Every structure is written in C-alpha cells, then in structure tokens.
C-alpha cells in the first residue's frame, strides 16, 4: 500500500504493508536508523518519535497511521551542523553513554520543552518516565534537560 | 462478543504483512464496512491508538485477518459538557483527558487515571474506547467509569444503543460489543457538588506499570451527615472491574462512625475476588482493597 508521510519536513511515499510498524518503515524503507528498537512492546521508549508534535512509540504505530501526518525523528532535530540545545546539553552534561536510549530521550525532552520551558526536575522525570536507560542512572539526563531548558529560555528572551 | 484473549500466544495466526486494512474517515463508512465484514464471516477488528493491538500482534497473541483503522473517524473524539453529564468521544486520548478543563472540573479522578496510564508516549495514542473495549481487568480508567455510573453509546449500521457501563462486561474479557459495533462515546453523570472523588492506583511504580489494585471512589454526605450517595469500584481484584454494591449498602444512609466503617471494611473483604498472579498475591490485594476502603470512608466522614 502506498502511504504519503512527511518526515522531518520532507514528503515521502512509501510502499509497505499497512500494519507494518512505523519503526520498521522509518528504519528499513526510509533508512532513518536514528530511531532505535529496544523492547518492541511500548515499554522502553527507544523508538520514540514525534507525530504532529506529540511523543509516540513508533513500534506501536501502524505505518498507515503515518499517512498525512508530520513525523519528526532524531535526524530532524539539528539545524545543519548546529545541534538542537537538547542534543548539545546531552553531550556537555554526559546525558548519554551507550546511546541506545538517547534518540528517544532527546525527543521526549524536546516535546516537554516545547510545552514548558521551565520544568521542575519532577516534571522532567514524568516526561521521560516512558524512556528507560540502563546506563546513566537518569540524573545526568535530567541535568542535561535542565541545562537545555535554561539555554532555550535565554534564547527565547534574547 | 468475547474479546480475544490476548494473554495466550498462538501459532495459527496471519503474518503482520498479510493483514488486510481499511482506513476509515467517516463513521458511516466504517460501520458499513464492519457490517459487511461481519455478514460474510470475516469481521474487521478496529485499531484506534494501537497501544494494545500492536503489542498483541507483535507477540502473536491476537492477529486479526482484517483491521479497520478508526483513528481519524469523525465524530468520535472530543469532550463535551451538558447540563447533567460530561461526554467523551471513544477516540479521546489520555493526553486529551489530561488537558481538559471540563474533566478536571467535574471528574478529576479521570485526569489522575489518565496521568498514570503508561507514560507520555502511551498517553498520546491510547484511547478511552480502547481501554474499555480491550476489556482488561487492569484497565486504569475502568473503576472511574464504573463507580461514576457511566453509560456507553454503541453504534452499528442498525443504529445506536446506550448501555450502562455496569452491564458492559459479561465475563473475563467478554463484553456486549457485536462484531460490527463500535463504542462511540462515554457519558459520565456529574457528581453532586461537594462530592469526595478519588482515583487511587497501587503499582510498582506510578508510570508505565500494570496496576496491582486500583480504586475509584466517590461519595457525598447529606445535610444530616449521613452518606447520601456513594460509588466504589476496584480494578484488578476480580475477573472484571468490580463495583462494590454490598460495601456501598453497608454505609449508604448511615453516619460514618468507627463501627460502620469497620463493618464496611469487613464486607469489602468478602466482596472482592482477587487472584494470585505474577504481580501480587490474592491476600495482598484483598488487604490493600480493605485499607483503601477504610482510608476513603474515613476521609468522607471528615468531608
Ligand atoms: C507500555 C504500555 C503501558 C500501558 N500502560 C497502561 C496503564 O497504565 N493502564 C492501562 O489501563 N492501560 C495501559 N496500557 C494499555 C493500553 O495503552 C490502553 O488499554 C489503551 O487505552 C488502549 O487504547 P488504544 O486506542 O491504543 O487501543 P487499540 O490497541 O487501538 O485497541 C484495543 C482493543 O480495543 C478495540 N477498540 C478500540 N477502540 C474501539 C472502539 N471505539 N470501539 C470498539 N472497539 C474498539 C480494538 O479492536 C482492540 O481490540 C499500556 C500499554 C502499553 C503498551
Ligand atoms: S521499542 Fe518501542 S517502546 Fe521499546
Ligand atoms: S545511555 Fe545506554 S541506555 Fe541510556
């Protein structure tokens, strides 16, 4: 089945079985391998992408529901060589180790900061509750998101 | 219709790529397709947010031959307030419930239930209709619909029918939905002003965990201090979401003194029928249910 989906601002037409997971469509058909698979069952958030600005697990979205919506993957965050503040701060504050959870973490954090530029640490925890990380112990991820929020607030005031 | 039992993995199921899919955008179209499928013995299974169905397919527990995508069907989304009730379209997501001022004003426990369903990713896609039709006894919103006397509107090409939420489940994972029927909306009567309203989830962690026990509780004292109205429902302590009419009778019309509360807690212990499973023992669940009944009857007595 032919499905038209906009990914990171570009319109693509993919020809896939309609119940194929969006995760596999992104990775196999569009070669966007930044989106990771962890559990395949909605628990870990490694496959997180944004659909029309909302965080979703792409392992739970059938490809057909990509029709006509705007999908943002981790590849769509940087502006050329300039990283998104969330990405930049994950590097500076060591919010990433093995990296498997990172694309999903970064997108969940971005979705939070798009709605709330001054989250508390508790609000950050809630926003990433569906993103599991076995490496960092989470504190450095929360530090990174806080730092990104501070930078984005400065940008918004400048 | 018996809901397929998603707890059992099966070998005799189609491959994901073989599933036939129809994407509906108008309700009339969806219902006609479903009616035709049911008539020819090849029914269409709806997919709304897919947060249950996609997992079942991946685990090869429920793999329908035909799926109808209802995510974009018109007239099935949105929250409205009428004089006596609030109405929620079946496709309303947890995220929409959390953002709704109407729900926060009239039935705040539904906001609490939505807040702790899965995590943000699940809340963007998971729908109230999917939680109800999925028929898991651990569905987090179900104790609220049950204790608040909600009604469901079911539709097919034959028309709409309104059923009491209390009558919807007929057994473990069994419900009144016909193969050609959709849940259209849920309607919740507004509780009396000044009611105590509570949703309490007991789980291993607040987000992303299947509940061990959940309680929906609403109560209201009359001018004379007696219990004028009360609704108590539990999830995960019986094969279906469990309304507690005997416990309610033990307090309705009475003053909530220590003896009355003690008696109601004893009745509650008899009324729940929990099981042992991987998440908890039956003994633990019964004790937790009784503690919650005591806690919120005590809170009501002071309200
Ligand atoms: C990681 C994870 C965490 C979760 N956490 C929770 C939790 O904390 N609490 C909880 O209660 N649930 C939880 N769930 C389960 C699930 O997210 C919810 O039950 C959700 O509400 C299902 O809605 P959906 O729209 O995604 O359903 P779908 O998967 O689209 O459908 C589920 C079933 O309902 C039927 N259906 C859907 N809509 C209709 C309709 N309008 N009319 C008729 N039939 C319909 C479908 O045919 C299917 O059989 C979790 C799931 C995952 C993967
Ligand atoms: S791979 Fe999708 S949530 Fe784990
Ligand atoms: S950095 Fe390894 S899982 Fe998070």
pLDDT in tens, A80-107: 999 999 999 999 999 999 999 999 999 9
The yes-or-no verdict on residue A158 having pLDDT over 80 is no
- Residue B158's CB is within 10 A of a number of other CB atoms, namely 11
What's the average model confidence in pLDDT over A5-33? 98
Which residue does chain A place closest to B121, by CA atoms?
A56
Counting ligands in written order, the one closest to the CA of A100 is 3
Residue B98 φ then ψ, to 5° = -65, -30
Domain boundary among B154, B189, B224: B189
What's the average model confidence in pLDDT over A27-52? 98
Query: What confidence score (pLDDT) does residue A108 get?
Result: 98
Instruction: Please check whether residues B109 and B166 belong to one and the same domain.
Output: yes
The dihedral through the CA atoms of B107, B108, B110, B111 has a sign that is: positive
Instruction: Please check whether residues B228 and B146 belong to one and the same domain.
Output: no
Write A33-39 long-range contacts (CB < 8 A, 24+).
A34/A73, A34/A74, A34/A75, A34/A103, A35/A73, A35/A74, A35/A103, A35/A104, A36/A100, A36/A101, A36/A103, A36/A104, A38/A100, A38/A101, A38/A132
Instruction: Please check whether residues B217 and B161 belong to one and the same domain.
Output: no
Instruction: Please check whether residues B223 and B297 belong to one and the same domain.
Output: yes
Instruction: Kindly provide the residue ranges of all beta strands, DSSP E only, lying in chain B, ordered along the sequence.
Output: 20-23, 45-47, 66-69, 79-81, 85-89, 151-156, 159-164, 169-171, 174-175, 182-189, 196-202, 213-221, 227-235, 242-243
CATH (domain of B278): 3.30.390.50
Distance A37 CA to ligand 3 centre (A): 13
pTM to 2 decimals?
0.96
Instruction: Please check whether residues B84 and B121 belong to one and the same domain.
Output: yes
Q: Are B197 and B113 in contact (CB under 8 A)?
A: no
Both tokens assigned to B264 = 């109601």
pLDDT band at B139 (very low <50, low <70, confident <90, very high): very high
pLDDT band at B247 (very low <50, low <70, confident <90, very high): very high
In a domain, B130, yes or no: yes
Whether B17 sits inside 8 A of A19 (CB atoms) is yes
In a domain, B5, yes or no: no
Query: What confidence score (pLDDT) does residue B6 get?
Result: 67
In a domain, B32, yes or no: yes
Query: What confidence score (pLDDT) does residue B93 get?
Result: 98
Alpha-carbon distance B122 to nearest alpha carbon in chain A (angstroms): 7
Distance A57 CA to ligand 3 centre (A): 17
Instruction: Please check whether residues B137 and B118 belong to one and the same domain.
Output: yes
Domain boundary among B189, B210, B243: B189
Work out how many domains chain B is built from and give that number: 3
Instruction: Please check whether residues B48 and B88 belong to one and the same domain.
Output: no
Alpha-carbon distance B19 to nearest alpha carbon in chain A (angstroms): 7
In a domain, B3, yes or no: no
Whether A60 sits inside 8 A of B67 (CB atoms) is no
Query: What confidence score (pLDDT) does residue B203 get?
Result: 83
Report which of residues B208 and B187 the model is more confident about.
B187
Whether A54 sits inside 8 A of B50 (CB atoms) is no
CATH (domain of B145): 3.30.465.10
Three-class secondary structure of residue B277 per DSSP? coil
pLDDT band at B4 (very low <50, low <70, confident <90, very high): low
Percent of chain A with pLDDT over 90: 97
Domain boundary among B133, B165, B189: B189
Q: Which residue's structure tokens are 């959870």? A: A101
Instruction: Please check whether residues B202 and B162 belong to one and the same domain.
Output: no
- Residue B295's CB is within 10 A of a number of other CB atoms, namely 16
Q: How far apart are CA A77 and CA A85, in angstroms?
A: 9
Whether A59 sits inside 8 A of B58 (CB atoms) is yes
Query: What confidence score (pLDDT) does residue B210 get?
Result: 78
Range of the domain at B177: 79-189
Closest atom of ligand 1 relative to the B76 alpha carbon: 41
pLDDT band at B3 (very low <50, low <70, confident <90, very high): low
Report which of residues B2 and A76 the model is more confident about.
A76
Report which of residues B5 and B154 the model is more confident about.
B154
pLDDT band at B14 (very low <50, low <70, confident <90, very high): confident
B130 CB neighbours in chain A (<8 A) are: none
Burial degree of B247 (CB within 10 A; 0-12, 13-18, 19+)? buried
Q: Are B156 and B178 in contact (CB under 8 A)?
A: yes
Distance A112 CA to ligand 3 centre (A): 20
Query: What confidence score (pLDDT) does residue B8 get?
Result: 72
pLDDT band at B27 (very low <50, low <70, confident <90, very high): very high
Both tokens assigned to A147 = 């730092």
Whether A60 sits inside 8 A of B50 (CB atoms) is yes
| Cα distances (angstroms) measured from residue B259 to each of A67, B254, B298, B301 | 61, 11, 12, 12
Instruction: Please check whether residues B141 and B215 belong to one and the same domain.
Output: no
Q: Are B121 and A58 in contact (CB under 8 A)?
A: no
Candidates A19, A41, A57; nearest CB to B67: A19
Instruction: Please check whether residues B282 and B222 belong to one and the same domain.
Output: yes
pLDDT band at B227 (very low <50, low <70, confident <90, very high): very high
In a domain, B2, yes or no: no
Residue nearest to atom 21 of ligand 1 (CA): B131
Distance B134 CA to ligand 1 centre (A): 6
The yes-or-no verdict on residue B1 having pLDDT over 80 is no
Residue-wise burial string across B250-280, b where 16 or more C-beta atoms lie within 10 A, e elsewhere? bbeebebeeebbeebbebbeebbebeeeebb
In a domain, B73, yes or no: no
Instruction: Please check whether residues B248 and B178 belong to one and the same domain.
Output: no
- Please tell me if the CB atom of residue A132 comes closer than 6 angstroms to any atom of ligand 2: no
The yes-or-no verdict on residue A146 having pLDDT over 80 is yes
Q: Write the pLDDT tens digit of every residue in B261-303.
A: 999 999 999 999 988 887 788 999 999 999 999 999 999 999 8
A45 CB neighbours in chain B (<8 A) are: 119, 121
A67 CB neighbours in chain B (<8 A) are: 23
Alpha-carbon distance B54 to nearest alpha carbon in chain A (angstroms): 5
Q: Which residues contact B244 (CB under 8 A, 6 or more apart)?
A: B232, B233, B234, B268, B271, B272, B293
Instruction: Please check whether residues B126 and B183 belong to one and the same domain.
Output: yes
In a domain, B8, yes or no: no
In a domain, B1, yes or no: no
Lowest model confidence (mean pLDDT) among A34-38, A100-104, A144-148, B134-138: B134-138
3-state helix, strand, coil split of chain B in percent (to 5) is 35, 25, 40
Distance of CA B53 to the CA centre of its chain: 16
The yes-or-no verdict on residue B205 having pLDDT over 90 is no
Report which of residues B123 and B5 the model is more confident about.
B123
């Amino acid at each position: 089945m032919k499905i038209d989906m906009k990914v990171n601002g570009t319109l693509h037409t993919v020809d896939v079985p309609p119940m194929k997971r969006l995760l596999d469509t992104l990775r196999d058909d569009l070669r966007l391998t930044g989106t990771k698979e962890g559990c395949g069952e909605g628990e870990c958030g490694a496959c997180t992408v944004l659909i029309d600005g909302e965080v979703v697990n792409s392992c739970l979205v059938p490809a057909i529901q990509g029709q006509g919506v705007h999908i943002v993957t981790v590849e769509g965050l940087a502006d050329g060589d300039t990283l998104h503040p969330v990405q930049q701060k994950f590097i500076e504050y060591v919010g990433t180790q093995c990296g498997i959870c990172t694309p999903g973490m970064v997108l969940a954090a971005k979705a939070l900061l798009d709605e709330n530029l001054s989250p508390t640490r508790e609000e950050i925890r809630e926003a990433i509750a569906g993103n599991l990380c076995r490496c960092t112990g989470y504190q450095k991820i929360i530090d990174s998101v806080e730092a990104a929020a501070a930078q984005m607030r400065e940008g918004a005031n400048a | 219709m018996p809901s397929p039992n998603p707890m059992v993995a099966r070998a005799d199921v189609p491959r994901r790529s073989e599933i036939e899919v129809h994407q509906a955008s108008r309700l009339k179209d969806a219902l006609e397709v479903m009616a035709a499928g049911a008539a020819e013995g090849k029914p269409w299974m709806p997919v709304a947010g897919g947060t249950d169905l996609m997992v079942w397919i991946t685990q090869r527990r429920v793999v329908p031959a035909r799926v109808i995508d209802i995510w974009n069907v018109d007239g099935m989304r949105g929250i409205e307030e009428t004089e006596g009730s609030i109405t929620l379209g079946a496709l309303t997501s947890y995220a929409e419930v959390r953002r709704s001022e109407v729900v926060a004003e009239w039935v705040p426990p539904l906001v609490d239930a939505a807040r702790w369903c899965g995590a943000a990713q699940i809340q963007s896609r998971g729908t109230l209709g999917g939680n109800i039709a999925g028929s898991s006894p651990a569905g987090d919103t179900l104790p609220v619909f049950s204790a608040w006397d909600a009604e469901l509107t079911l539709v097919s090409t034959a028309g709409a029918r309104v059923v009491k939420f209390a009558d919807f489940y007929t057994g473990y994972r069994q419900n009144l939905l016909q193969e050609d029927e959709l849940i259209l909306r849920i309607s919740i009567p507004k509780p009396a002003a000044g009611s105590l309203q509570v949703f309490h989830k007991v789980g291993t962690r607040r987000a992303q965990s299947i509940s061990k026990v959940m309680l929906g509780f609403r109560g209201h004292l009359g001018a004379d201090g007696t219990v004028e109205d009360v609704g108590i429902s539990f999830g995960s302590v019986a094969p279906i979401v469990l309304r507690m009419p005997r416990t309610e009778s033990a307090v309705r019309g009475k003053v909530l003194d220590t003896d009355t509360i003690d008696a109601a807690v004893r009745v509650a212990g008899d009324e729940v029928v929990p099981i042992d499973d991987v998440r908890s023992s039956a003994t633990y669940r019964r004790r937790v249910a009784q503690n919650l009944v005591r806690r919120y009857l005590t809170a009501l007595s002071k309200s």
